[in-house]
Amino acid sequence: MTASRGGVDTEAHKAAGGSWLTVIIAFAANLAVAIAKTIAAGMTGSAALVAEAAHSWADAGNEVFLLIAERKSSRPADAKHPLGFGREAYVWSMFAAFGIFTVGSAVSIWHGFQSLFSHESNDSNYLVGYIVLAISFVLEGFSFLQSVRQARGRAAELRQPVLRYVLKGSNPTLRAVFAEDAAALIGLVIAFLAMFLHQITGIAAFDAIGSILVGILLGIVAIVLIDRNRRYLVGENVTPRIRDMILRALLEDKDIVEVTYLHVEFVGSGKVYVVAAVDLVGDAKESQLAVRLRTVERHLEENPMVQEVVLTPSAPGEKPLVPLTVD
């Protein structure tokens, strides 16, 4: 598949380094923000800030899971794991989404309802709250821009919209950081509005409602991430565009005349497993056919995106597959 290195390979080449940097930046930003929000929440007593502090601590814990995902999924294949450890990324990202995000959601909603029905007075130090929210927005925004930068480069190579690539792409750590940073920025806006409405009206319920809304936001993000990781763990096929690019790459091999069957699925971030039925050039004897197929497989596996290829001869009369340009 050497002909396709400018397109299909891009995800495999850039995933590791870019994802590590994105996760580390997100961890540093979330840790700093979590500490600042916790101090501000204690000083102001704002329910929305308490929810935001829980949100940021959840995000910081989430990055630890994502760092584990990056480390474990990058191990090379061995005899017991011929398809590698790429799916480890989906397992640990699932833990992060289910455990950390939902904990943040539950804490925020619970605290919001508790504050909503509380009769205790709350004299908030609004200035401190606003300063912390502003600093948090800058730090979270920096982290979000890093994830957008990483996603934009790979989405452009695959000729996909950035949001579509993030949501449907094979990189679970990038998707998690992108989603949590986007949720964090939205949550900060909610917290600001909740504090502002509390300040100008004197009605503490606005603050409590802000906490509940942050919790609901986290719950939605958790459900989306859990669903995407679940799909990849059970073996979801690649997108039609990537399948078409793989098909074209197969047909560009000098020993392949046509392809009559093709199955491609992700087995990790930027790594695919390919099964295809092909018709080779000439009419080799059975004793030579297996050797030629293995030779073609090894050649195709030189592509960094391809974890393993399994080729079988096409049966007579099978209809050849035709490459299509699918957006």
Encoded tokens for 278 = 């092909």
- Going by the DSSP 8-state scheme, the letter that residue 106 receives in this structure is H
Looking at the structure, do residues 187 and 136 belong to the same domain, yes or no? yes
CA geometry: angle 20, 23, 26, nearest 5 deg: 145
- Amino acid found at 152: R
Token output for 35: 């500490």
- Do 217 and 162 share a structural domain? yes
Per-residue pLDDT at 114: 82
Q: Share the mean pLDDT of the chain.
A: 82
pLDDT, mean of residues 237-249: 84
Exposure of 194 in the CB half-sphere (CA atoms within 13 A): 32
92, 65 Cβ separation under 8 angstroms: yes
pLDDT digits (tens, 9 = 90+) for 292-323: 888 888 888 888 788 889 999 988 888 999 88
CA distance 63 to 38: 18
Residue 259 has what pLDDT? 93
Asked if residue 326 is part of any domain, the answer here is no
112 and 168, same domain (yes or no): yes
Tally of domains in the chain:
2
DSSP H helices in the chain: 10-44, 47-73, 88-95, 102-116, 126-157, 162-168, 172-201, 205-233, 240-251, 286-300
pLDDT tens by residue, 148-194: 988 888 788 777 888 888 888 888 888 988 998 899 899 999 989 99
The proportion of the chain whose per-residue pLDDT surpasses 90, expressed as a percent, equals 15
Q: What is the pLDDT of residue 315?
A: 84
4 found inside a domain: no
Quote the percentage of the chain above a pLDDT of 70.
90
Neighbours of 203 (CB within 10 A): 12
Do 222 and 286 lie in one domain? The reply is no
Give pLDDT, residue 277: 93
> Are residue 162 and residue 271 in the same domain, yes or no?
no
Do the domain assignments include residue 319? no
CA dihedral (214, 217, 222, 224) in degrees, to 10, reads -170
3-state secondary structure of 84: coil
pLDDT at 44 over 50: yes
In a domain, 297, yes or no: yes
- The CATH number of the domain holding residue 253 is 3.30.70.1350
pLDDT at 286: 63
Is residue 1's pLDDT more than 80? no
Tell me, what CATH number does 122's domain have? 1.20.1510
Residue 40: which of 29, 52, 28 has the closest Cα? 52
Neighbours of 75 (CB within 10 A): 12
The yes-or-no verdict on residue 17 having pLDDT over 70 is no
Q: Say yes or no to pLDDT of 18 above 80.
A: no
Is the pLDDT higher at 10 or at 64? 64
pTM of the model: 0.77
Same domain, 270 and 218: no
Has residue 104 been placed in a domain?
A: yes
Residues 151 and 299 in one domain: no
Name the 3-class secondary structure at 275. strand
How far is residue 55's CA from residue 200's CA, in Å, rounded to a whole number? 25
**Domain, as residue range, for 260:** 240-313
pLDDT of residue 54 exceeding 50, the answer is yes
Indicate whether 303 and 156 sit together in one domain: no
Determine which of 115-124, 238-247, 261-270, 276-285 has the lowest per-residue pLDDT on average.
115-124
Question: CA dihedral defined by 195, 200, 203, 205, rounded to 10 degrees?
Answer: -30
Cα–Cα distance for residue pair 7/42, rounded to 1 Å: 51
CA angle 56, 61, 66 (to 5 degrees): 120
Using an 8 Å Cβ cutoff, are 278 and 309 in contact? no
Is a pLDDT exceeding 60 seen at residue 108? yes
Q: Is residue 323 in some structural domain?
A: no
Q: Residue 134 has what pLDDT? A: 92
Within a 13 Å sphere around the CA of 80, how many CA atoms are in the beta-carbon half?
Answer: 2
Segment 280-291 mean pLDDT: 76
Q: Whole-angstrom Cα distance, residue 185 to residue 214?
A: 11
pLDDT-derived band at 6 (thresholds 50, 70, 90) equals very low
In this model, does residue 237 exceed pLDDT 60?
yes
Q: Which residue stretches of 234-285 are H helix?
A: 240-251
Decide if 286 is inside a domain.
Answer: yes
Would residue 44 count as lying in a domain? yes
- Residue at a domain's end among 208, 234, 260: 234
| pLDDT for res 284 | 65
What is the average per-residue pLDDT within 97-120? 78
Write down which residue in 216, 234, 252 finishes a domain: 234
Cβ 11 vs Cβ 171: under 8 Å: yes
Q: Residue 202 corresponds to which tokens in the numbers above? A: 């004197």
Instruction: Answer with the one of 177, 204, 234 that is the final residue of a domain.
Output: 234
Same domain assignment for residues 44 and 179: yes
Residue 13 above 70 pLDDT? no
Q: What is the pLDDT of residues 250-283, one digit of tens each?
A: 898 888 889 999 999 888 887 889 999 998 887 7
Shared domain check, 301 and 253 = yes
Please tell me the predicted confidence (pLDDT) of residue 227. Answer: 92
pLDDT at residue 120, as a whole number:
58
Task: Mark whether 209 and 269 lie in a shared domain.
Answer: no
Residues 85 and 183 reside in one and the same domain: yes
